[in-house]
Amino acid sequence: MDNLSIKTLSETVETATEYSFKLQDLMKSVIGAQNQVKITAEESNLEIDRAFDELTNCVLDALNSRREALKAKVTKIQEEGATPLNECYKVICETLKNTHTYICEGQDLLHQHDKVDINSYVQYLEQSALLGNLPAVPNLEEVPAITFQLNVPFLCKTLINNITSAGIVFKMGPVQIVHVCEKPGALLVEWEEVETERPLDVQKFCLEVAVGSHPAANHRHTQATYREVYVGPDTCYLVKDLHPKQSYTLRVRCKAEDGEWSAWSLPRVACTNLAPFGWQVGNPHYSVNVGGKIACKTSRAKQVLQSNMTQFGPNHSIEFTILESGDTCSDFDGLGLVDPSCTVVDSLQINGVMYISTSGLIFLDGKEKTTRLPPLIKSSRITFTCEPLKSSRVRVHIDSGDKAVTYDWIVSSTNLRFAMMLTEPKWKVMVE
């Protein structure tokens, strides 16, 4: 066999080997899918049995409780109606007994009329006045005639209609996570509704996250400890305060017009490799804490504090929150973005910097822009959002209060830093 044939054969074997590896990977995927179908079917059957056993017990308990309540009502009415009648009966019996005794006494007097003295006769006649006082007996219309009414056919129909529509079986949850994008110390999670046999009028969504990797499609998710991070109508959310390189499991569900939460989506495991936004530590004029998120001005020196690295860039959004503000506003004090080629020490009004001043003015490459935003005060939130453009250009959106501006900016690199310069020591700023 010549060298060409050996080379061809070797390449063929190598290609077949790679093909075999791909088939093995596909086999693992198919096995995983089979397990997902089998396990979720078994768990759903258990859930159906558990739910309907609980429903059966609940209905039986409710029926027995209602039965006893109705019978107790009958007993109460019976007792309330029978008590005065029983007393009346006793009075009639006693009166009848006395009357019989009176009759017998009278008959004895008749048999002995020749021997009866006048006094006995007079005493007997005086007792006859009692014969006219009959006990008061209520009419039948005045006493209870207990009845029971229940439209059994209608109730059965109502129960059957409700039971026959109880429960829904979906191939999967009606909402699924479709995209997860890593952000600095965060994950941007997007989800969407999927086609189901029963369309839902979705009112809001619920997103939860658990630390660790829990990829099994266990719809009860009993192996993970989830915490709620978002409830609302939006179909995306930025999950913040995450540790870099730590796996997190995400799931989402929705609530329809009937007020019931749907089944959970398939779990989605993701992580961010980007460190969270943070201020640079070591500047003697600023105190940085809470993992670099919060910076406090500690002196009156005109010094710039920058981020600890080039963390900001296209498709990123950064928010500054003014936790405490100074007494005055200045065009020279502010916060914003810095081109990595720019060196900033004691001023932001230079080429390579875009910032909003504490007075609300916008400066780009040292030049004041015409648009003015609200001045920065306590509780102000300022957001910078970056979009990529061609030829080392970026588009930056600045939102503050109820106003927003947009500028295109030529930079040496799209990997940007953020910075602030504040003169008064009262300022405290948080970055997220």
Q: Which pLDDT score, from 0 to 100, does residue 249 have?
A: 94
User: Could you read off the pLDDT tens digit of each residue along the chain, which spans 432 residues?
Assistant: 566 677 788 888 899 999 999 999 999 989 988 988 888 888 889 989 999 999 999 999 999 999 999 999 999 999 888 888 888 888 888 888 888 887 887 777 777 766 667 777 767 777 776 676 777 788 887 788 899 999 999 999 999 998 888 887 878 888 999 999 999 999 999 999 887 766 677 889 999 999 998 876 555 555 688 999 999 999 999 999 899 999 999 999 998 777 788 888 989 999 999 999 999 999 999 999 988 999 999 999 999 999 989 999 999 999 999 999 988 888 999 999 999 999 998 999 999 999 999 999 999 999 999 999 999 999 999 999 999 998 889 999 999 988 999 999 999 999 999 999 999 998 999 999
pTM: 0.67
Domains 177-272 and 286-431 share a fold: no
Report the DSSP pairing between strands 175-183 and 204-211.
unpaired
Quote the CA–CA distance of 119 and 124 in Å, as a whole number: 9
Q: Which pLDDT score, from 0 to 100, does residue 355 have?
A: 97
| Extents of the domains making up the chain | 30-165, 177-272, 286-431
What number does CATH give the domain 286-431? 2.60.120.920
Q: Which pLDDT score, from 0 to 100, does residue 2 have?
A: 66
Q: Which pLDDT score, from 0 to 100, does residue 154 have?
A: 94
Q: 177-272: CATH homologous superfamily?
A: Immunoglobulins (2.60.40.10)
